[in-house]
Amino acid sequence: MIRSVLLALAAFALPATVAAETVANAAPVSIVFVGDIMLADTPGKVIRHGGDPFGPVASLLAAADIRIGNLECTVASSGQREAGKVVTLRAHPRVLKVLGHHFDGVSVANNHSGDFGPTAFAEMIGHLERSGIGFFGGGRTLADAHRPLIVERQGIRIAFLGYNEFMPRRFEADEDKAGIAWSEDAQVRFDIAAARQRHHADVVIPVMHWGWENESVANDRQRALARLMIDAGADAVVGGHPHVVQDTEIYRGKPVFYSLGNFVFDGFDPPENNTGWILRLEVDRHGPHAWRIDPVRIDAKGIPHPSTDPATCWRAGMTDAAPCGDRVPAR
């Protein structure tokens, strides 16, 4: 198999598209991004008993035009647990009704989407399609996995691309195998260009699963890849995976949010793991317009709550800082 030929086909695939809303002289579109959403274990039990783990922050989510998160689990009833993998996460398909009430799209490019093999992954893709939740960073084939999710609001077309950088790589999609997208540098450049040229996106935002767990400052690979993406034409980069929030930076006038931390996730004791960010990013046809970060504290059930901590969102290594909840102009 010549992988480069297969990956190139992704540019010609029809993008997944969430319903368009067109308005002349479009005002900025607001996008909410959150970190890891894990709907197995205790959050799954909350849903099973009629609860909503997103309830305490529902108003913050609903205030945005588009809501995007990272779905950090398999959602399926089929498949076999990956042998030798210490932590495996699988949620019942019923969780998608609640997820779909709060989110327009999710990245499936992470190190838990394949915990129960390609059969369960393909089942999850089917459930997402039937539920009307957009997804990106994975698909039934390699080309599908590199296809952007296009969301159009107020006449502005926004492309979301998802990539994983954390092992195991055996979760990667192939020509005839469902799976996720991996962040090969050349392919990332190609995908960003294709999002604009083939899919006519006004704004392109890669969503990354990268970095080392519990590290509050991004590593050299994260920084290099973020800058590569912006050099290739990305308008912003949003990341997750470390289970803690990480620093941010501005590169060539474009914001990089290296990790938003956890969002709905139980099983962590350290306070750093139970802190997350809700990022509200405003974009227009020229890219980022402004952003705001609202912190959350995650309780023992894995449920996020708006934080009343007066501390700012600044962390060591940031090039720009503002108090949590303050709107930061991008230009």
Residue 2 has a pLDDT of 36
Q: What number of other Cβ atoms are within 10 A of residue 270's Cβ?
A: 10
pTM: 0.91
Residue 190 has a pLDDT of 98
The DSSP letter of residue 23 is -
Residue 331 has a pLDDT of 76
Q: How far is CA 316 from the centre of its chain?
A: 23
Give the domain 3-329 fold: Purple Acid Phosphatase; chain A, domain 2 (3.60.21)
Burial 138-166 (b: 16+ CB within 10 A, else e): bbbbbbbbbbbbbbbbbbbbbbbbbbbbb
Residue 24 has a pLDDT of 47
Distance (Å) of CA 306 to CA 37, 258, 273: 16, 21, 15
Residue 167 has a pLDDT of 84
CB contact set of 124 (below 8 Å; sequence gap of 6+):
74, 75, 76, 108, 113
Residue 326 has a pLDDT of 79
The DSSP letter of residue 196 is H
| Mean pLDDT per 10-residue section of the chain, whose length is 331 residues | 43 52 70 98 98 98 99 97 93 98 99 95 98 98 98 98 92 94 98 98 99 94 98 98 93 95 95 93 96 94 86 54 74 76
Token pair belonging to 109:
């490019």
What is the enclosing helix (H) or strand (E) of 288? Answer: strand 287-298
